[in-house]
C-alpha cells in the first residue's frame, strides 16, 4: 500500500499517549497495512501508530517472521527477572543512536487482533523486549526515557552531532 514517513525524536507525536481503538473498519485495516509496509521497509521489528503520526493504540511487531498486529494492547504481567540490553529505535535515528534499556524477560500481553478477536499470550526474549518497546511508544515514551541520565545525555549529544548542530 504505502510506506509512510516515520516520525523522528523529538517529534511531539512520540510523546503523546495514544487513544483506544473503538472499531476495526476499513480505515484501520488500511492503517495496519501501511504500518506493516513501513516497518518492513525501514527495516524494523516493530512499529507503533504514533511513530507515523497516528494517535491510535495499534502496534505491529515481527520477530522471527511471526507478524503480530495488536490493537489496544496492554501488558498485564511483567517478570521480576530483567535484562539490560542495547536498543535502537526507528524514531531515534536508527543505526546511529542506541542506549541500554532494562526490560522484563517475560511478559503477558492482552490485546485485540486485526480480526477483532481477543488475544492473550506470554512473550519472552526478543519478542518480549520488542513488545515492551512498542507499548512504550503508544504510552508516549521512547528509549531515551528508559535509560540512565548519563546514557541519555550521551545519546542526545550524539544526536545533536548527527543533526549537524554540534
Share of the chain above pLDDT 70, in %: 96
Q: Find all residues with CB under 8 Å of 115, minimum gap 6, and list them.
A: 24
- Which pLDDT value is given to residue 129? 98
118, 76 contact by CB (below 8 A)? no
Place of cell 539490560: 84
- Examine the residue annotation and report whether 134 is marked as an active-site residue of this protein: yes
Domain ranges of the chain: 12-162
DSSP 103-153: EESEEEEEEE-TTS-EEEEEEEHHHHHHHHHHHHHHTT--GGGSS-HHHHH
* Least confident window among 77-81, 122-126, 162-166: 162-166
Q: Which three cell numbers stand for residue 83?
A: 535484562
How big is the CA angle at 9 (ends 93 and 112), to the nearest 5 degrees?
Answer: 95
Residues 12-162, CATH architecture:
Alpha-Beta Complex (3.90)
Q: Which three cell numbers stand for residue 70?
A: 495488536
Q: Which three cell numbers stand for residue 145?
A: 526515557
- 79-107 pLDDT, tens per residue? 999 999 999 999 987 777 889 999 999 99
Residue 78 burial (CB < 10 Å; 0-12/13-18/19+)?
Answer: middle
Annotated catalytic residue: which of 74, 134, 150, 151?
134
Residues shown for the chain: 166
User: Would you place residue 164 in the very low, low, confident or very high pLDDT band (cuts 50, 70, 90)?
Assistant: low
Q: What is the largest CA-CA distance in the chain?
A: 49
51: left (phi > 0), else alpha (psi -120 to 50), else beta? alpha
Amino acid at each position: 500500500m504505502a510506506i509512510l514517513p516515520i516520525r523522528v525524536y523529538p517529534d511531539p507525536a512520540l510523546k503523546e499517549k495514544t487513544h483506544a481503538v473503538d472499531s476495526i473498519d476499513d480505515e484501520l485495516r488500511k492503517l495496519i497495512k501501511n504500518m506493516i509496509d513501513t516497518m518492513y521497509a525501514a527495516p524494523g521489528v516493530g512499529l507503533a501508530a504514533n511513530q507515523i503520526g497516528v494517535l491510535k493504540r495499534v502496534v505491529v511487531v515481527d520477530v522471527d517472521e511471526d507478524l503480530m498486529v495488536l490493537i489496544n494492547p496492554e501488558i498485564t504481567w511483567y517478570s521480576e527477572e530483567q535484562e539490560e540490553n542495547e536498543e535502537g529505535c526507528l524514531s531515534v535515528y536508527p543505526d546511529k543512536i542506541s542506549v541500554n534499556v532494562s526490560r522484563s524477560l517475560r511478559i503477558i500481553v492482552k490485546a485485540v487482533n486485526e480480526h477483532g478477536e481477543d488475544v492473550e499470550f506470554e512473550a519472552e526474549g526478543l519478542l518480549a523486549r520488542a513488545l515492551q518497546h512498542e507499548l512504550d511508544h503508544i504510552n508516549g515514551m521512547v528509549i531515551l526515557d528508559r535509560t540512565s541520565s548519563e546514557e541519555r545525555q550521551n545519546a542526545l549529544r550524539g544526536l545533536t552531532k548527527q543533526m549537524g548542530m554540534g
